[in-house]
Amino acid sequence: MKRSLATSIVVASLATGGGAAAQSVDELERNFAGSVQLDYMAVPTDDLAREDALDGATVELSMKLAMDFGDHVSSNVKVCVACHGLEVGMAFFDLRVADELNFRVGRFTPAFGEFPLRHDPANHRTSDKPLPYDMGRMLRTADWNMSVLPAPWVDNGLEVNGTHFFGDDVQVDYAAYAVGGPRGATDSLDFDYRQSRTPENYYVDNNSRPTVGAHLAWTVMSEHLIFMLGASGMTGTFDPENQQSFVVGGVQALMRIEGAFLRAEYLARRTEMSLGEDPASRFRYGPGEDGQFDPYFLKEGFYTELEVPVGRFDFVARWDGLRRRGNVMQMSELRSDSALLRYTLGGAFMLREGLRLKLSGELYDFSDFEDDVVVHLGIAGPF
Amino acid sequence: MTRRLLRHAACTTVTAVVFLTLWSCLPGPSLGRLLPGNRPHPVEIREACTVTAVKCTRCHNIDRVLVAQVTSPNQWEAYVARMRRMTASGITATDASRIVQCLVYRSSLGQEDRREAIVGN
Contact in structure between A115 and A148 (CB atoms under 8 Å): no
Least confident span in A66-80, A129-143, A296-310: A66-80
Q: Do B87 and A175 make contact, defined as CB atoms within 8 angstroms?
A: yes
Higher pLDDT, A382 or B89: A382
CB contact under 8 A, B64 and A382: yes
Which amino acid makes up residue A43?
V
Q: Which residues of A touch B1 (CB under 8 A)?
A: 323, 337, 339, 367
Residues A335-377 pLDDT 10s: 999 999 999 999 999 888 778 999 999 999 999 999 999 999 9
Minimum-distance CB partner of A257 among B20, B59, B118: B20
Nearest-by-CA chain A residue for B93: A99
Contact B69 A31 (CB under 8 A): yes
Higher pLDDT, A332 or B8: A332
B83: region left, alpha or beta (phi > 0 left; psi from -120 to 50 alpha) = alpha
pLDDT of res. A83 = 85
| Of the partner residues B51, B60, B119, the one whose CB lies closest to the CB of residue A118 | B60
Tell me which residue in B29, B81, B95 faces A71 most closely, judged by beta carbons. Answer: B81
pLDDT, tens digit, 9 for 90 and up, residues A267-280: 999 999 999 999 99
pLDDT of residue B8: 65
Q: Tell me how far apart the alpha carbons of residues A155 and A164 are, in angstroms, rounded to a whole number.
A: 26
Contacts of A339 in chain B (CB under 8 A): 1, 5
Residues of chain A contacting residue B112, judged by C-beta atoms under 8 Å apart: none
Measured between alpha carbons, how far is B86 from A161 in angstroms, rounded to an integer? Answer: 9
CB A219 within 8 A of CB A235: no
Q: Check residue B78 and give its pLDDT.
A: 86
Look at residue B114 in the predicted model and tell me its pLDDT: 63
Report the pLDDT value the prediction gives residue A174, as an integer from 0 to 100. 96
Give A51-99 pLDDT, tens digit per residue: 889 899 999 999 999 998 888 889 999 999 988 888 899 999 999 999 9
Residues of A in contact with B68 (CB under 8 A): 31, 33
What is the average pLDDT across A10-31? 49
Which has the higher per-residue pLDDT, B46 or B113?
Answer: B46
d(Cα A218, Cα A223) in Å, to the nearest integer?
17
Closest Cα in chain B, distance from residue A38 (Å):
17
> ipTM surpassing 0.90, yes or no?
no
* Chain B stretch 38-67, residues whose beta carbon is closer than 8 A to a beta carbon of chain A: 50-51, 54-55, 57-61, 63-64, 66-67
pTM: 0.85
Question: Is residue A331 pLDDT above 70, yes or no?
Answer: yes
Residue A91, judged by CB atoms within 10 A of its CB (0-12, 13-18, 19+), counts as middle
**A219 compared with B88, residue with greater pLDDT:** A219
Say if the Cβ atoms of A255 and B50 lie within 8 Å. no
